[in-house]
Each structure stands twice: as structure tokens, then as C-alpha cells.
Structure 1
């Protein structure tokens, strides 16, 4: 793009980035968090973990769709640091893929009245994602296993959360995980007369 106006080149760049489909965390359901990290910060840090999966294998989730095996990936993070144990570092390899969908049960008002039925979870998978041929040889895992998510000290017992990854088209470039850039800002200050 040599010789064109910078604003036009930037417009092309932003359009290309916005039209690139990505698998991103849409929801983080935190069942229990007794760590020092706030729920919002934990959800944000989980959103920065890239997942090794081809987005072309999944469908877009529209407003009327239910999360299923064709449009959602579910991960579970369950970590414990009991009293008397040394401090542990929670890394992205602690995220465990749940090919059968969420294990977290939805809370309903009439749950006590109908105890004979199967409890409803946040996702319903008609078949396990492990049986899909594309995932038999390539299970879904974090792309980099050594990304630090949190550090837990003794007594910060555990946290359990479920991450729902869904195929999205980015509405704004600031939300694109693949649009990272680096800008070097240098300033020079002189002291004295």
C-alpha cells in the first residue's frame, strides 16, 4: 500500500481484521472462586488464552440458537491450593476441554419439584465432540500451555469456572484477539539548563 493515504490504508486494515472469524470466549460461568482474583479479572485473563482450533469447523451462534457441539467449545478450570501446600501457578494447561458440554447445572425455580428429570446444563451436545473426525487426531487445547492465568497461595482454596468459546465476527477491532500490535513510544527529556 505504498503511495496511498494513511487513512485509507488503515480502513483496509480494520476491515480485514474485523472480517476474520475467531473463536473467542463469549461467557465465563464461575461456580466458585475463593481466590484473591476478582471474577471479572479472571474472566478477562481467560479471554486472552488462544485456543488451538480451526474456526471453519464451527457454525456461528445466532441469537436464536442454543449452544451445541457445532457452535460451542466448553473448557473447565478447576484448581485447588489447600492450606499447608506451597503456592501454585495456574497456567493455561489447566484448562480442560469438556467434549460432552458443560457440567454446570442451571438453577431453575422449580428444580425441587421435578427431581426425577435430568438436570439442565448450559450447553446441550447431542454427541460428544471427541467423536467428530476432525478432533479425534487433534483434540482442542490451549495453543500455548504456559500462559499464566493466576497464582494461588495456601488457603486460597480453589476456583471452578466454565468457559464457552463461540465463533464470532468481531463488532469492533478493539475486541479482536488477532489484532494485537506494538507501538514504541519514545520520549526524551533533558534536565538542566
Structure 2
């Protein structure tokens, strides 16, 4: 039996998740073999390639927004989870405090330093290897698999700041601003210095390739004359699954594309009220034409009046506000396209936001390759 072609309206209806006033409907996926008799939904690479589409809406170094169309929710969520937890980044792991007479305790200062996002040359970050921590007595494995700190797995940063009086010259009587009274009254991330060793001199070239904080104005501590902070920091590569400080994204989210179908005309004051139920730019207005007033029973005698039309559903937040008003009952249907995912990726600064998504694709591809090899070994 040859499968019959699916009517376009039927295919569209199956892709829409219904959003009602209190419930969500049509959430079950139907694109698998046997669900609809006489229809072929067998997965094929050719069909997937035809349906797959990538649309970039914004591509700034630290903030990207793009749409992935034609994929399953499990794949979209895999990309999101990989970006959050499995792309390796560089962060401060160990802090050696030599002298700290500030009011910030050693452990608190170390925690603040560990959360400072770092950046450097992309080639240098990719060149760095993972550092294996020394085994403890509780570990079953011995210390044979551990590494020692070397130029290819550890970055050394230093912070040496001392607060002192600035001097009476140029200071007004009664001045209370600590920035004017003292030197180094505030300790910022820009005062962290990088000391390259070995191949690090070539892998992290000056000036833009050096390891440095993404935001130099991050406040680390405040001091007063006589107080000193002197410490060394060892940075290693890690993944977000180990600790949040290794996560390369501030946020990585996605949402389904909203749909708004006006099934019955909304005219006049109702059209203006309807537009206010949505964010600006989602709903617009058009004049009712003579032809529409003659052919449509609902628009009879309303030529020249303003009617509500859908402009841009991309800006909609699906607040359901329009479903709370009696005058719009039965006139509008809200939904979401189940295979259109709008991603929003905000990088912490170590990598560009679009680079992070490409790395998530490579990571998922590598996982699939390993799984395929394991299946092949099982079948032998």
C-alpha cells in the first residue's frame, strides 16, 4: 500500500501544541511509524535534511539567538544541556593564599576568585589539556593516572595588592571618598596578572591572547591602609557538570515558536484591546476593505474600520491574556510549533556564543559515534 500524501493543513495542525486558558493540548508526538494508518513516518536522513533549517536572529559575541526548525525536543534539549555542562572551559581551581589581612576571609575570597570568568586566545584554550587531580587515600585507583602541574595543563595567575594612604597633597579637607584617600582601596579583577611558562608564551600571545578576566571591573574585595592580599591561583580546564564555574554560558534556553490564529474578525475597539493583550509588535491593525465587508458576514457594513491582524508571533510570550476576556472567546486560538525551537545563548565571555552551539553539535556527534561503536562491539 502506497502511503497517501499528507494534506498541508493536516500536517500543520499536527505540529501545533494547543495553548488554552487553563490547559495545554496536543502535546503527544505523532511522527512515528504506525500512528496514522496508511501514512509513512519512517525516519530518513533525506527527509530530515529537507526539513532541517537554522535561522539566526541575533549573533553578538556574548549573546546569540537562533531558531532550529525540524528537530525533536530531545535533540534540542541535548544541545542545551551540553552547552551548560559538557563544553570544557578554564577556571580558577586552587588558590594559594600567602598573605591576606583584609576583612574578607580566605575561603570567601577563594570562592569569589573561582567564579571570575576568564578568557584567552581560542587556540591556546584548545591546546590546554585536562589536569588530573592527585588521588587521595580514599580512591580505589592509585596515583599512576594523575598529572603534575605543567605548562600544558595549568595556568598560573597572581594577585598582589597592598592598600596605602595616597598622601595629603591634592586632598581636600574633610574628604571621605576612599578612592581619593587610599591607593588600592578596591581590588578589581584587572589587577590579576598572568605569568606564562614554557609553551604558554607562544600559545597565549600578547596582548589579546593572554589569560585574563572577561570583565576587568569585577570587584573582589575592599581594603584599608596596611591591609595586603598576596596569593597565587592555579587554573585548569573543567566542565560544568563538575562545577558551575566551568559552565561557559550564563544562560542557555529555548522556547517553542508561538502561533496566533484569529478565527473570527476582531474589529474596532476590540481590536485595540486585543493588541494590548500582547507585547508590542505582535498584533497590528488593518482597514476592513469593501470586498471583505461584502463577502464576510461578520464584517458586513464595517468597511473602513480597523481589524486586528497578526504581525510577528516571534515577540509573543504566550501570556494567554486574550483568553481571559469574554469578547475574544471563540475568536482566537493560541499554540506553539512543536518542532520550531528558538534558542537564546548568553556566553560568559570565554567563547563566542555561536561557537558554543557549534561545539555542542560536535560533542553530540562524538557521543553518537561512541555509542555506535559500542553497539557494533555488542553485535560481534
Would the TM-score normalized by the shorter structure come out above 0.5? yes
Superposition RMSD on alpha carbons, in Å? 2.9
Equivalent position of 2:307 in the other structure: none
Measure, in 1, the Cα distance between the counterparts of 2:194 and 2:243.
28
CA deviation profile, 1:14-66 (whole Å, cap 9, x unmatched):
23322201001110111110000011111111122222223202111123111
| 2:277 is equivalent to residue 181 of structure 1 | no
Question: Residue 143 of structure 1: CA displacement?
Answer: 2.2
Find the partner of 2:194 among 76, 94, 97: 97
Larger Rg computed on CA atoms = 2
Equivalent position of 2:308 in the other structure: none
Equivalent position of 2:210 in the other structure: 139
Question: Residues 33-112 of structure 1 correspond to what in structure 2 (within 5 A)?
Answer: 33-53=100-120, 54=122, 55-63=125-133, 64-82=146-164, 86=182, 88-100=185-197
> What TM-score do the two structures reach when normalised by structure 1?
0.67
Measure, in 1, the Cα distance between the counterparts of 2:109 and 2:244.
19
Question: Residue 168 of structure 1: CA displacement?
Answer: 1.3
Measure, in 1, the Cα distance between the counterparts of 2:252 and 2:84.
16
Measure, in 2, the Cα distance between the counterparts of 1:169 and 1:129.
21
Measure, in 1, the Cα distance between the counterparts of 2:118 and 2:194.
10
Measure, in 1, the Cα distance between the counterparts of 2:252 and 2:152.
35
In structure 2, do the counterparts of structure 1 residues 58 and 176 end up closer, same or farther at CA, with 3 Å as the change threshold? closer
Contact 2:128 2:152 in 1 (8 A): yes
Structure number with the bigger relative contact order (C-alpha 8 A, sep ≥ 6) is 1
For the residue of structure 2 that corresponds to 1:35, the secondary structure is coil
In structure 2, do the counterparts of structure 1 residues 174 and 76 end up closer, same or farther at CA, with 3 Å as the change threshold? closer
Find the partner of 1:158 among 210, 220, 228: 228
- Mark the runs of 5 or more structure 1 residues left unpaired by the alignment: 101-126, 184-193
Size of the aligned set, in residue pairs, is 154
For the residue of structure 1 that corresponds to 2:251, the secondary structure is coil
Contact 1:48 1:177 in 2 (8 A): no
Measure, in 1, the Cα distance between the counterparts of 2:165 and 2:206.
39
> What TM-score do the two structures reach when normalised by structure 2?
0.36
Q: Which structure features the higher share of helix residues?
A: 2
Q: Tell me which moved more, 80-89 or 31-40.
A: 80-89
Contact 1:14 1:173 in 2 (8 A): no
